[in-house]
Amino acid sequence: MKLRLRNQLIMVAFTQLAIFSLSLIFNHDISLLSYINISFYISAAFLLTALLLYTIHSGFYDVISRSFTLAFSRGHKNKKFSEIPGLSELVTVNQKPLLFIGLVNGFLMLLALFAYYFLLT
């Protein structure tokens, strides 16, 4: 448990370093506004990937993936629909670390957004 949290916090630190690096590359300086913009995109990517994996694990795409597999393998083998594994059985990536990293980065972005708002008003 502690090792998993440690690894996730290392990934959060790595994404924060990537945000600062991307800010330097694209804007040639580190400003609060560029931090907010880049961290929004990175946290949105993590959160949307975690939500996509959650949807896949729920079995929502199983019938669609089985149907495509059955349709594209018509001439090769005679498989029954129930023999084809669903997409939720094939994708085994855990979405919880991605969700954690996305939420922490989103929270840090919101803190920076509130600081930006209150510093300008």
* Torsional class of 29: left (φ above 0), alpha (ψ -120 to 50), beta (otherwise): beta
Question: What pLDDT was estimated at residue 77?
Answer: 66
Token pair of 113 as six digits: 């957004």
Question: What pLDDT was estimated at residue 50?
Answer: 97
Question: What pLDDT was estimated at residue 75?
Answer: 62
Question: What pLDDT was estimated at residue 76?
Answer: 62
pLDDT averaged over consecutive 10-residue blocks of the chain (121 residues)? 88 96 91 94 97 93 85 71 80 93 97 92 69
Specify whether the CB–CB gap between 50 and 69 falls below 8 A.
no
Cα separation, 91 vs 76, in Å, equals 24
Residue (of 55, 95, 89) closest to 69 by Cα position: 89
**Residue-by-residue DSSP string for 29-90:** S--HHHHHHHHHHHHHHHHHHHHHHHHHHTTTTHHHHHHHHHHHTTTT----GGGSPPHHHH
